[in-house]
Structure 1
Amino acid sequence: MGKKLWYHSSCLLLFCILCTNSFAQVKPADFKYVDHILGYWRMPTKHSTFTELWVKKDDHTWEGKTHRITGRDSVEMDNMQLVRSGNELVFTIAAVADPKSGKPVPFKVTVLQSNGFVAENPACDYPQKIVYKWKKEDELDVHFKGVKEKTFSEIILEYKRK
């Protein structure tokens, strides 16, 4: 009787692993949704305005730059990239770099749909998850989520297309 239960639990575990992997894959047909990020996005705050400008470099690369504008001064804050390699899409942001190499930490895009994408790297110190979500055609929310020093933290940026 013990072997039969072990066999059933092994099958269930294998099934769960296979299902998790199949849901976490991005389909090449969905890469068209990345183009929605293109353009100039703004988020005014009390003291300054944050912007993201996304352009398509080629068929496999999207690049973004973040600026902070205060009065007439503009400071480049960060550089981001989405790079397609085969059936995978990887998101990088210069501010999240490997301390040893100095290179941006790769976040694998695990979900890509018409309303946004999720990029994850569970091994990253912080964040472990980056979410770009289009609430409307001209509204974009960016979430940086994860555990930092045993505490869950989430930064939310709310942009509007200009």
Structure 2
Amino acid sequence: MKYATIITFLLALTLHQKHNENQPKSDVTQLKWLIGTWERTNVKSGTTAFEVWKTDTENSLIGRGVSLKGADTTFVENLKIEFKDEKLYYVAEVSHNAAPTYFEITEISANAFTAQNPTHDFPKVIAYELKDNELTATISDGKTKGMQFIFNKIDP
């Protein structure tokens, strides 16, 4: 009887781990590949754009997205990835929104993540993927409308 209980417990634990394999964990260490300075490569002529990510705490990363036209700053976005209320979130704060917008991170792998907020006007889905030293950030409505931002790492 004792062995049956132990085997049942171990089996349940294994199945639970398999089910939660791609689910976000409480810390952001699995997103350490995002840390560094990234220069956007698909911008209009005369424009430069960057995203910079660094560790804030064990459970959060902070970032900033900046676009420049010449010496003039044309866009600033404060970003954060944080664990809050038992979930992992990608948080975007831009000047035209009164409050930060929270996107729940719904999928994570070794080199990618997807965050969603179905109640936000646009974007509803934000996805990052690192492939061959190129970072692609995609924002979309989750259907047909979307944009890609492609970056190369310039500083670790």
**Fold-level match, TM-score > 0.5?**
yes
Match of 2:33 in 1: 36
Amino acid at match of 2:144: F
Runs of 5+ unmatched residues, structure 1: 1-21
> Counterparts of 1:89-128 in structure 2 under 5 Å?
89-95=88-94, 102-128=98-124
Q: Give me the whole-angstrom Cα distance separating, in 2, the residues matched to 1:96 and 1:34.
A: 26
Q: Give me the whole-angstrom Cα distance separating, in 2, the residues matched to 1:25 and 1:70.
A: 39
1:127 counterpart SS class: coil
Amino acid at match of 1:67: V
- What is the aligned-residue RMSD (CA, Å)? 2.6
Match of 2:50 in 1: 51
Of structures 1 and 2, the one scoring higher in RCO (CA 8 A, sep 6+) is: 2
Match of 2:70 in 1: 71
Q: Is the 8 A contact 2:27 2:83 kept in 1?
A: no
Deviation of the 1:58 alpha carbon:
0.8
Amino acid at match of 2:147: I
Query: More helix by proportion, 1 or 2?
Result: 1
Deviation of the 1:52 alpha carbon:
0.2
Runs of 5+ unmatched residues, structure 2: 1-18
Q: Give me the whole-angstrom Cα distance separating, in 2, the residues matched to 1:97 and 1:105.
A: 11
Q: Give me the whole-angstrom Cα distance separating, in 2, the residues matched to 1:25 and 1:105.
A: 23
> Counterparts of 1:122-161 in structure 2 under 5 Å?
122-136=118-132, 138-146=133-141, 152-161=144-153
Identity %: 19
